[in-house]
Amino acid sequence: MLEDIPVIICGFPSPAEDYEEHQLDFNSYLGTGKPSVYALRASGLSMIGAGILPDDILIVDRAIAPFHRAIVVACIDDEFTLKRLLLDGQAVLHAENGSYPDMLFGNLQELVIFGVVTGIVRKIL
């Protein structure tokens, strides 16, 4: 899929560029045609260190098993959040912004993972 995306050269254009033909199906590339994939709009600043900004569209796949260091959509005691999952002895939800504390889980709290973030879509204008 990535090999189908044209490369842009920051300099003089190649004379062969007029003859290239590439098509990119964003639904296929992002997996949005799968029933397990959904999109969410990001809010807040807790994940800016991971490159996730307010109003970004997150592509989330609930069919992917959560793994160490994945960015996940999690539900803790009926509250949804987006954090990096750390699995090192116990589950920790880590914000990618030093202004936010890690979320540790005791035996009485319920942590449910609703999917793994697989992509980000952002408009720049």
- Is residue 71 exposed (0-12), middle (13-18) or buried (19+ Cβ within 10 Å)? buried
Give the pLDDT score at 77. Answer: 80
- Tell me how far apart the alpha carbons of residues 37 and 49 are, in angstroms, rounded to a whole number: 24
Structural domains for the chain: 32-121 (2.10.109.10)
pLDDT tens track for 46-92: 999 999 999 999 999 999 999 999 999 999 888 899 999 999 888 89
Single out the catalytic residue among 34, 43, 83, 123.
Answer: 83
Single out the catalytic residue among 14, 34, 43, 46.
Answer: 46
Share of the chain above pLDDT 70, in %: 80
User: What's the whole-model pTM score?
Assistant: 0.79
Strand 71-76 vs strand 111-121: parallel, antiparallel, or unpaired? antiparallel
For residue 21, give the DSSP letter: -
To the query of whether residue 83 is one of the catalytic residues in this protein, the response is: yes
To the query of whether residue 14 is one of the catalytic residues in this protein, the response is: no
